[in-house]
């Protein structure tokens, strides 16, 4: 995107024309007074709309080149909002390697609401499409194997079969990838990660590419109520302003680490798609893991990513990757 650095830096600037405040205020009010009967300021209740939250929603809509954005209370709340579009007996085709938290939610939706997830390798997707299939859901790159998926290729399959294409863009952000431009219908983020960038805010974002989807999600967003708070909205606005600077430095640091790991005798292989700040690697023996971790002085053992601190976690032991533990061992010899 042209001038993306400027767009990011200007998020929320000069929104308060009455006072001239250069940064957007935090509107904590939960209710808004109506001028008189039949008149409105455009706001009535903060779950439905909030001026601070709207800045985030407008910003991510611009960055992803969509029609309408939605700010949710977490990345999982964002996925839940999108999957609320579906009903009993609908089937969703999902790429094999996904974040364990998403898998946990999909299990719940299947067990409680009979919305069925079908997992497949992306090159086998068309074999699994049937009359009940309503959408395709992918992460790219995937978590934790960091496999890049060709969005345009999957979009052509989705269009051919009249399916929605939903893309989780958490790892690349709109700074590196804009799925709607490549044919996706819905893009979502755990904004807790790179977009927030400071490990101090839980947030999820959704952007859609057409008005029909926007209208449905406006209703669901208000009805479900898992909206981003005003204070968290302000923290996210602050974080997004420096996204371009952070992504560039994180990529640079990641490449240095990849080069280092590739020359270590105890590292079996390094999984890195060539951009972004996430790295996965496999060791030659599980026996070396304790001593390896004990010698880390700066990197913290924690389950998140995308912030200003370096984290590590073990995919097969972290709660976030329970699904990947079983599936990846079957499919990837991990």
Q: What is the CATH number of domain 242-312?
A: 3.90.1150.10
Domain spans of the chain, in order of start: 4-241, 242-312
Which pLDDT score is estimated for 326? 52
Which pLDDT score is estimated for 319? 47
Chain position carrying tokens 């209710």: 31
pLDDT tier, 313 (very low <50, low <70, confident <90, very high otherwise) = low
Average pLDDT, the chain: 91
On whether the 4-241 domain is CATH 3.40.640.10, my answer is yes
Is residue 95 pLDDT above 80, yes or no? yes
Which pLDDT score is estimated for 324? 46
Is residue 231 pLDDT above 80, yes or no? yes
240-280 pLDDT, tens digit per residue, is 999 999 999 999 999 999 999 999 999 999 999 999 999 99
Q: Are 107 and 83 in contact (CB under 8 A)?
A: no
Lowest mean pLDDT among 103-112, 160-169, 219-228, 300-309: 300-309
Q: Which tokens sit at 26?
A: 């935090």
Is residue 316 pLDDT above 90, yes or no? no
Catalytic residues: 47, 99, 168, 193
Lowest mean pLDDT among 35-49, 67-81, 154-168, 203-217: 35-49
| C-alpha atoms less than 13 angstroms from C-alpha of 227 in its C-beta half-sphere | 27
Is residue 74 pLDDT above 70, yes or no? yes
135-158 pLDDT, tens digit per residue, is 999 999 999 899 999 999 999 999
The 3-class SS string of the chain reads CCCHHHHHHCCCCCCECCCCECCCCCCCCCECCCCCCCCCCCCCECCCCCHHHHHHHHHHHHHHCCCEEEEECCHHHHHHHHHCCCCCCCEEEEECCCCHHHHHHHHHHHHHHCCEEEEECHHHHHHHCCCCEEEEEEECCCCCCCCCCCHHHHHHHHHHCCCEEEEECCCCHHHHCCHHHHCCCEEEEECCCCCCCCCCCCCEEEEECCHHHHHHHHHHHHHHCCECCHHHHHHHHHHHHCHHHHHHHHHHHHHHHHHHHHCCCCEEEEECCCCCCCCEEEECCHHHHHHHHHCCCCCEECCCCCCCCCEECCCCCCHHHHHHHHHHHHHHCC
Q: Are 60 and 187 in contact (CB under 8 A)?
A: no
């Amino acid at each position: 995107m042209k001038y993306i650095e400027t767009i990011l830096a200007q998020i929320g600037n000069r929104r308060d024309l009455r006072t001239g405040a250069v940064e957007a205020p935090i509107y904590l009010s939960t209710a808004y007074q109506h001028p008189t009967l039949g008149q409105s300021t455009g706001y009535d209740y903060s779950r439905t709309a909030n001026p601070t939250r709207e800045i985030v929603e407008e910003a991510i809509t611009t960055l992803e080149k969509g029609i309408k954005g939605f700010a949710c209370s977490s990345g999982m709340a964002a996925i839940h909002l999108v999957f609320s579009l579906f009903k009993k007996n609908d089937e969703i085709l999902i790429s094999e390697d996904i974040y364990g938290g998403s898998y946990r939610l999909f299990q719940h939706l299947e067990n409680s609401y009979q919305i069925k997830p079908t997992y497949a390798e992306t090159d086998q997707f068309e074999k699994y499409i049937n009359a009940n299939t309503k959408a395709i859901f992918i992460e790219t790159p995937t978590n934790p194997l960091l496999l890049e998926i060709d969005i345009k290729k999957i979009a052509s399959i989705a269009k051919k079969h009249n399916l929605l294409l939903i893309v989780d863009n958490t790892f690349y952000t709109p700074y590196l990838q804009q799925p709607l431009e490549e044919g996706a219908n819905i893009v979502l983020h755990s904004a807790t990660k790179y977009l927030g960038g400071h490990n101090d805010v839980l947030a999820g974002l959704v952007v859609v590419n057409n008005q029909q989807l926007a209208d449905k999600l406006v209703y669901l967003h208000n009805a479900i109520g898992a909206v981003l708070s005003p204070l968290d909205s302000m923290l996210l606005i602050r974080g997004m302003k420096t996204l371009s600077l952070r992504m560039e430095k994180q990529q640079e640091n990641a490449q240095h680490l990849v080069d280092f790991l590739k020359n270590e005798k105890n590292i079996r292989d390094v999984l890195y798609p060539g951009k972004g700040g996430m790295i996965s690697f496999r060791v030659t023996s599980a026996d070396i893991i304790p001593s390896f971790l004990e010698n880390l002085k700066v990197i913290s053992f924690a389950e998140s990513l995308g912030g200003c601190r370096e984290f590590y976690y073990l995919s097969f032991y972290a709660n976030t990757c329970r699904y990947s533990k079983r599936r990846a061992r079957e499919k990837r010899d991990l």
